Structure 1
Amino acid sequence: MVRTCLSYLSGFDPSLFHDDDGRKWLVNMKWDNRIGKNRFAGHLLQEYDIKNKCLVGPVVNIFKGTELGCSEGTHLYKRNGYYYLMAAEGGTSYSHAVTLARSRSITGPYEVHPQNPILTSKGSDKDQFLQKSGHASIIEGINKEWFMVHLCARPIPKTDRCILGRETAIQKVQWREDDWLYLVDSPGKLPSWEVEIYSEPESQCTKAIRVKTEQYDDFDNNFMDINFQSLRIPAQMFMSLTERPGFLRLYGKESLGSKYTQSLIARRQQSFSYCSETCLQFEPKTSQQLAGLVCYYNTENYYYLRVSYDEELGGKCIGILASINNDLSEAMIADDNILINEADRIYLKVEVHYCELRFFYAIKKDDWKQIGKVYDASTLSDDAIEGSSAFTGAFVGIACQDLSGMNKHVDFDYFSYVERE
């Protein structure tokens, strides 16, 4: 008996299949890193020994994909004597698709669905609100109804930019007499915007719309709100909720362009239109010390309303840094910094409405003044990022930098995020 570790099945998106005879199988895509080869080189299958907790037996490439290319994200199912292989193909962008194939034997050969792909937004016009549809799995619900959940993205209307990143949608599907799976609520292969789901005592209709999201954190607890995320390193390495009760203290670390140690806490943007606000107390002593409110995609794409120090102006100031694919020309120049020496508490706010991003500040609460110009929020989108695959969407949060290495801290009194109609 040949035993191997899980790393033998090189690639990503592994899935475990439980057969009705009690045997278990691991299926995973094969990644071929050789020059001139198809990097998406098929779907590998190997048996898993649950007692010994290892893979055993031969590795078989059971499906090499279709002409759609980029075959990945494998799932196996069994129904009416057929093994069904569901895969993501076409890449994760606007050619994304769901491929279905079947075989009487788990090791194949697999025949492809006669109308493949069974789900895709490719080729649809921009009125099709759910784009980039693919990478699916299926489940049987109540009343013997079947559903498919899949990845998708919603571009800002009249653009191809998806500022919300990858999202998840649901479709109703059915098995027909030919033992193939088809969409129910949408003609052809396009995902539907509305899906009818059986429920007691009457049928309801669900839409691909979220509940309005609000978050207000006054930092009175000794734990972080579940919506917050840190970047690359644990938040405990640069923050404290106990050193000054009722405040979140961040210690300044490296610049927003750093790929190592950053002091940044942020949450996902989940709506095309939202408002986010914070209040800070910060006494920088050098221009190398900054803190504020940030709209962030990655180290090369962000808009940053920050408090810092300007030696020429003679004190504490407020201004905006902006980076678009590492181009800093959108940033406010030094002459546009606003001196705020008299300010103890500084209120910062951002309003985003589709492509428009506006910053505001206040020395007295609710006495808001706009600062900077109207920025293009769509640059913080998957599709505006250069040089790599991107699908995380935009974030909004708070940050602190101290490039002098003196570990200067800032105290934030609260953070709010409210979605708007």
Structure 2
Amino acid sequence: MKIQNPVLPGFNADPSMIRVGDTYYIANSTFEWFPGVRLHESKDMVHWNLLPSPLSTTTLLDMKGNPASGGIWAPDLSYADGKFWLIYTDVKITEGAFKDMTNYLTTATDIRGPWTDPIKVNGVGFDASLFHDKNGRKYLVQQTWDHREYRHPFNGITLTEFDTSTMKLMPKTARTIYRGTDVKLVEGPHLYNIDNQYYLFAAQGGTVFTHEEVVARSQTLDADSFESEPDGPFITNFDTPDFYLQKQGHGALVNTPSGEWYYASLVSRPWNHKNESSHDPRGWSTLGRETSIQQVSWDENGWPRVVGGHGGQVEVNAPKDAIPTEAPADNSQHDDFSSEKLDLNWNTLRIPFDANMGTVGDGKLTLIGHDSLASDFNVSMIARRWQAFNFNAQVKVTFDPFTYQQMAGLTNFYNDNHWSWVFVTLDDQKRRVIEVAENNRDTYTSYLKDDAIVIPEGTEAVWFRTQVRKDHYSYDYSFDGTTWHNIPVELDAAVLSDDYVLQTYGGFFTGAFVGLAAVDYAGYEQPATFNDFDYKELPETK
């Protein structure tokens, strides 16, 4: 078998991979999307199945009002003492001198839960991980934030001992064990004890095209005791601009039962418009930061090296002792909303799907209109990741607005400043109409205006479809679900990419979603009904 990278396509960033027995688990960042932390499992590293997210209650995760790309940063999953340990960070500020955040700990004996109520750990810095040493002691390892404008904000990797008798840190034990290289922006640390040496894996260079992972090692856990790997970095694509995979870096190391080694890393697959250089701009990552897995060997001096070179490989040999795992052939999804629980592929913004937002079951999804899609608080939307460059997604919508302040439809969404949608609303003649609008850097544009498509009297429902084709996308409508009409508005998919958002905003960590939404900022909570959602992936084109 071969691992085909990325193994977790679409927004699956900052992987924390572990092995428990013969099973591998990966935990990924989810930022402002609820529920928090995305989990997958596999026995062969090739085929992965989605598991329930652990942070599924507001007791474990309260993100109302969090900024875009705040929330859950770089969770760390580990296993020790007969249970899973999950360290996660809830970031409340993304812009400016400060990174107000809280690191929490929750545990579970079963990966599917239940997870314990969260323990507040600290707020020293993000990307915290828990290291279980062979001598039984435990340590929190984390990026350290420095708000002082005359210092670099990424102030090294701090190690603090964790007391399991009190389930609290011991702040007086804190020390900086590694300051990174001149590349700076050192973050995402994971610590391992291998052959009686301590190996620290850490990301550098920012999670953009200069991203990389470095390795340092030490005989002790003393302050400033770690030396960097010679001939590094361990993995990067900064100097491989024409390679299919880019931005590899932040990740975690795992060994197989038979002693092979692998490294799970974040990765992106940027594309370019036909009239652009492939080097500048290097591209637009609409699928966000995904997960790749590379094989690792050890050189004669005991340093880890990525097999095939530090740029990595698209196709990687699976573990020799892999146990074949059944998983879906692709990420296509059909949802008839017959279940009273949302499918695991669906996410909501900042808040859980509950009776305030709507209901699901008996073949329909009902969303109660609340805030606009530009809000950070009470948005009635469920959305799933773009996980392919080319796909069609469609849904049936029933909605009866009585003011233009009420809207419901199908959206392609990156964050509150970058999204578009096709929707039903009311015009000034009190007719139900179809409009297409886009929010681009928080500038809102209605494309049809006075030419909005009038829904014929007596028409109960409309069908909406989006056709995404790597560098552009469009919307269609139907009054019978069979005969489709294209709306002549072609939108630039780059607007929904990490790289485009980065040009004006520091929170650029997620990826594009396609979703269903209802808005009633008039405050009357007008509901919309959705039936038969379909997301169909299509072959990739050059």
Could you tell me the TM-score, scaled by structure 1's length?
A: 0.92
How far 1:143 moved relative to its partner?
Answer: 2.9
User: 5 Å matches for 1:63-142?
Assistant: 63-107=178-222, 108-125=224-241, 127-142=242-257
Aligned letter for 1:225?
A: D
Which secondary structure state, in structure 2, belongs to the residue aligned with residue 241 of structure 1? strand
How far 1:214 moved relative to its partner?
Answer: 1.4
Distance in 2 of aligned mates of 1:62 and 1:276: 49
Is contact 1:9–1:29 with CA below 8 Å preserved after alignment? no
Provide the residue aligned with 2:428 in structure 1. 311
Distance in 2 of aligned mates of 1:90 and 1:122: 10
How far 1:6 moved relative to its partner?
Answer: 6.1
Distance in 1 of aligned mates of 2:221 and 2:390: 47
Is contact 1:9–1:28 with CA below 8 Å preserved after alignment? no
Is contact 2:141–2:159 with CA below 8 Å preserved after alignment? yes
Q: How big is each residue's C-alpha offset from its partner over 1:120-150, in whole Å with a ceiling of 9 and x where there is no partner?
A: 011222x211111101211111432111111
Aligned letter for 2:338?
A: D
Is contact 1:319–1:371 with CA below 8 Å preserved after alignment? no
How far 1:252 moved relative to its partner?
Answer: 0.8
Is contact 1:293–1:396 with CA below 8 Å preserved after alignment? yes
| Correspondence for 1:234 among 348, 352, 367 | 352
Is contact 2:121–2:169 with CA below 8 Å preserved after alignment? no
CA separation of 1:323 and 1:372: change in aligned 2, threshold 3 A: farther
The number of aligned residues is 405
CA separation of 1:201 and 1:328: change in aligned 2, threshold 3 A: closer
Provide the residue aligned with 1:288 in structure 2. 405
Identical aligned pairs, as a percentage? 34
Provide the residue aligned with 2:343 in structure 1. 225
Is contact 2:254–2:262 with CA below 8 Å preserved after alignment? yes
Is contact 1:294–1:398 with CA below 8 Å preserved after alignment? yes
Is contact 1:15–1:74 with CA below 8 Å preserved after alignment? yes
Which secondary structure state, in structure 2, belongs to the residue aligned with residue 164 of structure 1? coil
CA separation of 1:84 and 1:6: change in aligned 2, threshold 3 A: farther
Aligned letter for 1:234?
A: P
Of residues 274-283 and 22-31 in structure 1, the stretch that sits farther from structure 2 once superposed is 22-31
Distance in 2 of aligned mates of 1:140 and 1:201: 12
Distance in 1 of aligned mates of 2:399 and 2:166: 57
| Correspondence for 1:365 among 472, 481, 499 | 481
Provide the residue aligned with 1:207 in structure 2. none
Q: Does 1:171 align with 2:290?
A: no
Aligned letter for 1:277?
A: Q
Distance in 2 of aligned mates of 1:246 and 1:198: 42
Provide the residue aligned with 2:55 in structure 1. none
Which secondary structure state, in structure 1, belongs to the residue aligned with residue 509 of structure 2? coil
How far 1:156 moved relative to its partner?
Answer: 2.0
Which secondary structure state, in structure 1, belongs to the residue aligned with residue 189 of structure 2? strand
How far 1:294 moved relative to its partner?
Answer: 0.5
Of residues 296-305 and 370-379 in structure 1, the stretch that sits farther from structure 2 once superposed is 370-379
CA separation of 1:32 and 1:201: change in aligned 2, threshold 3 A: closer
Provide the residue aligned with 1:351 in structure 2. 467
Q: How big is each residue's C-alpha offset from its partner over 1:204-227, in whole Å with a ceiling of 9 and x where there is no partner?
A: 9xxxxx942111111122111111
Distance in 2 of aligned mates of 1:99 and 1:335: 56
- Please tell me the root mean square deviation across aligned C-alpha atoms, in Å: 2.0
CA separation of 1:356 and 1:85: change in aligned 2, threshold 3 A: same
Aligned letter for 1:286?
A: T
Where does structure 1 lack aligned partners over 5 or more consecutive residues?
Answer: 205-209
Is contact 1:28–1:74 with CA below 8 Å preserved after alignment? yes
How far 1:198 moved relative to its partner?
Answer: 3.7
Distance in 1 of aligned mates of 2:538 and 2:194: 45
Is contact 2:256–2:319 with CA below 8 Å preserved after alignment? no
Q: How big is each residue's C-alpha offset from its partner over 1:38-60, in whole Å with a ceiling of 9 and x where there is no partner?
A: 11101111222222222235211
Q: Does 1:25 align with 2:139?
A: yes
Is contact 1:31–1:40 with CA below 8 Å preserved after alignment? yes
Aligned letter for 2:305?
A: Y
CA separation of 1:223 and 1:81: change in aligned 2, threshold 3 A: closer
Which secondary structure state, in structure 2, belongs to the residue aligned with residue 335 of structure 1? helix
Provide the residue aligned with 1:154 in structure 2. 269
| Correspondence for 1:260 among 377, 381, 394 | 377
How far 1:201 moved relative to its partner?
Answer: 9.6
Q: How big is each residue's C-alpha offset from its partner over 1:82-111, in whole Å with a ceiling of 9 and x where there is no partner?
A: 211111111111111011111111215111
Q: Does 1:383 align with 2:482?
A: no
Distance in 2 of aligned mates of 1:332 and 1:201: 52
Is contact 2:299–2:305 with CA below 8 Å preserved after alignment? yes
Provide the residue aligned with 2:523 in structure 1. 405
Distance in 2 of aligned mates of 1:81 and 1:234: 44
How far 1:405 moved relative to its partner?
Answer: 1.3
CA separation of 1:332 and 1:9: change in aligned 2, threshold 3 A: closer
Distance in 1 of aligned mates of 2:423 and 2:259: 55
Which has the bigger relative contact order, CA under 8 A and spacing at least 6? Answer: 2
Distance in 2 of aligned mates of 1:211 and 1:102: 40
Is contact 1:163–1:381 with CA below 8 Å preserved after alignment? yes
Aligned letter for 2:158?
A: L
Distance in 1 of aligned mates of 2:471 and 2:495: 8
Which secondary structure state, in structure 2, belongs to the residue aligned with residue 143 of structure 1? coil
Q: How big is each residue's C-alpha offset from its partner over 1:378-402, in whole Å with a ceiling of 9 and x where there is no partner?
A: 2111111122231210000111111
Q: How big is each residue's C-alpha offset from its partner over 1:284-342, in whole Å with a ceiling of 9 and x where there is no partner?
A: 11111110000111111111100011123x4111010112112224x314222011132
Aligned letter for 1:90?
A: G
Provide the residue aligned with 1:35 in structure 2. 149
Provide the residue aligned with 2:330 in structure 1. 212
How far 1:262 moved relative to its partner?
Answer: 1.1
Could you tell me the TM-score, scaled by structure 2's length?
A: 0.72
Distance in 2 of aligned mates of 1:233 and 1:12: 22
| Correspondence for 2:313 among 162, 168, 192 | 192
Distance in 2 of aligned mates of 1:372 and 1:259: 31
Distance in 1 of aligned mates of 2:364 and 2:529: 6
How far 1:20 moved relative to its partner?
Answer: 2.0
Provide the residue aligned with 2:439 in structure 1. 323
Distance in 2 of aligned mates of 1:403 and 1:22: 54
Provide the residue aligned with 1:298 in structure 2. 415
Is contact 2:247–2:266 with CA below 8 Å preserved after alignment? yes
CA separation of 1:129 and 1:290: change in aligned 2, threshold 3 A: same
Q: How big is each residue's C-alpha offset from its partner over 1:159-218, in whole Å with a ceiling of 9 and x where there is no partner?
A: 61100111110111111221111112x23x21211111243699x9xxxxx942111111
Is contact 1:276–1:350 with CA below 8 Å preserved after alignment? yes
Larger Rg: 1
Is contact 1:332–1:372 with CA below 8 Å preserved after alignment? no
Distance in 2 of aligned mates of 1:382 and 1:80: 39
CA separation of 1:201 and 1:173: change in aligned 2, threshold 3 A: closer
How far 1:240 moved relative to its partner?
Answer: 1.2
Distance in 1 of aligned mates of 2:417 and 2:473: 17
| Correspondence for 2:455 among 340, 362, 378 | 340
Is contact 1:320–1:372 with CA below 8 Å preserved after alignment? no
